[in-house]
Amino acid sequence: MSVTVVYGSESGTTEKIARRIAGPLAARLVSVGRASPADFEGCDLLVLGAPTYGLGDLSSDWEIGIDRLRAANLDGKRVALFGTGDQMTYPDSFVDAMGTLYDEVTARGARVVGETGTDGYDFIASRAVRDGRFVGLALDEDNQAGKTEARIVDWLGGLK
């Protein structure tokens, strides 16, 4: 199975997470700033990672790269999502960018896999929660870095 991980990262946190996810999957790793529509299409499993900035915004590299995602043919594509955020400072928009990507890929016919539970998090609202679950892997390196490794391992186990 071929896997591509496309990520956005301004501070480097989401890039580090993307590398930790790509390794066990033997995935191709691509920064969204360098991604082409073919990078989103040319794999069996597409993993997208995004940090949430401000009050629920995509990072600037995703703001630029979102048009490349929109140009890709994702009909029937399996897509897994992960997002980084700060649930204490931004409890009303925790990992909202992951929810934005979910909306983008499902509108293009993708099938999202890898949802996770919300237990163990302390936030008020998130656009990444659908039917009481996160649409992907939610990570908070600011407040729960000690839980990241176990969450990644569990999530990857569910993707394989």
Q: How confident is the model at residue 34 (pLDDT cuts 50, 70, 90)?
A: very high
72 and 143 in contact (C-beta within 8 Å)? Answer: no
| CA dist., res. 37 & res. 117, Å (int) | 31
Q: What's the whole-number mean pLDDT along residues 29-35?
A: 97
Domain boundaries, the chain: 3-159
- Helix 145-159, helix 13-25: angle, nearest 10: 40
CATH superfamily of 3-159: Flavodoxin domain (3.40.50.360)
What is the per-residue pLDDT across 72-124, written as a single tens digit (0 to 9) for each? 999 999 999 999 999 999 999 999 999 999 999 999 999 999 999 999 999 99
Q: What's the whole-number mean pLDDT along residues 54-77?
A: 96
Residue type, position 152, single letter? I
18 and 59 in contact (C-beta within 8 Å)? Answer: no
| CA dist., res. 102 & res. 111, Å (int) | 10
DSSP 106: H
Q: What is the pLDDT of residue 160?
A: 76
DSSP 154: H
First to last CA, the chain: 10
- What are the distances in angstroms from CA 149 to CA 15, 88, 115, 139? 15, 20, 17, 10
- What are the distances in angstroms from CA 148 to CA 20, 29, 39, 84, 119? 10, 19, 27, 10, 14
| CA dist., res. 42 & res. 115, Å (int) | 23
- Paired sense of beta strands 133-134 and 111-113, if any: unpaired
What is the sign of the dihedral through the CA atoms of 22, 154, 83 and 78? positive
**pTM, to two decimals:** 0.97
